[in-house]
Amino acid sequence: MILILIPSHFEAKAFIAGLVGRWESRIGGADCTEGKSGEEAVTVGVIGMGQPHAARRARAVLVDLKQRNANFRGVILAGFAGALNPELKRGEIFVTAGAAHLLPLLAAAERPREAKLATVDKIAGTAAAKRELFERTGAWLCDMEQAHLEPLAQEFGVPFVGLRIVSDEAHEDLPVETLGRSYDQQTGTYTPWKLAGYLALHPLRIAKLAAFVRLLPPVRNCLSDRLHTWLRQAGPRLFR
């Protein structure tokens, strides 16, 4: 069995929908779904975005799986990432950790490229912030989780793979102030009522938010399709 960690319910929705024999639970604050992708048994843990909740929830799921599943073999972290390299395009998928575990098992035409990723404390929401981070770190992508979760997998003695898809390009400014109303970083909870109230007071910001959000379902679906394809190809051999 393989554990797949995904930061948000939105990112996880399409992949979970493609699982067969789904069974849901809640472990340490993480919403979990067990099922099968092809012949491979997986557990999906939705752990929240960034610190401290992503690592805390991931730890709870890892403890639970270690205690009850002797066949637990490895961890995949999958989800969106912001592009820092201006050459990257929305919808491109990259392996950001553990490439040696995955790439040799895939057909040549199916192998994504590798990329360095920088984990940040808050969303890099402007083109200027992305440019500064690119120049300072040399990373092609940024997220808010991997640097905290990869050591956790090592602590539990299981291999780790990072998979990220570009959700926003380096030249794009995101509606960060608006998006921030939909998730409380301190509590690790979604706050749609706060977003609705904010938009009621700032209706001119609705169009920019909607323009960004409508680009995301095809990106999410692309990552889901690729991950299911790779699990069907490599799942029985992955992490062995």
- Taken in order of first residue, the domains within the chain and their CATH numbers are 2-171+216-237 (3.40.50.1580)
The H or E element that residue 150 is part of is: helix 146-155
pLDDT at residue 70 is higher than 70: no
d(CA 197, CA 212): 19
The angle, 0 to 180 degrees and rounded to 10, between the axes of the packed helices 9-17 and 216-234 is 50
Residue 135 to residue 191: CA distance in whole angstroms: 34
Q: Is the per-residue pLDDT at 164 higher than 90? A: yes
pTM greater than 0.85: yes
Is it the case that residue 167 has pLDDT exceeding 70?
yes
Percentage of residues in the chain with pLDDT exceeding 90?
75
Q: What is the pLDDT of residues 129-160, one digit of tens each?
A: 999 999 999 999 999 999 999 999 999 999 99
Q: What whole-number distance in Å separates Cα of residue 121 and Cα of residue 208?
A: 24
Residue 126 scores a pLDDT above 80: yes
Rg (C-alpha) for the chain, rounded Å, is 17
Count Cβ atoms within 10 A of the Cβ of residue 119 and give its class: 0-12 exposed, 13-18 middle, 19 or more buried. buried
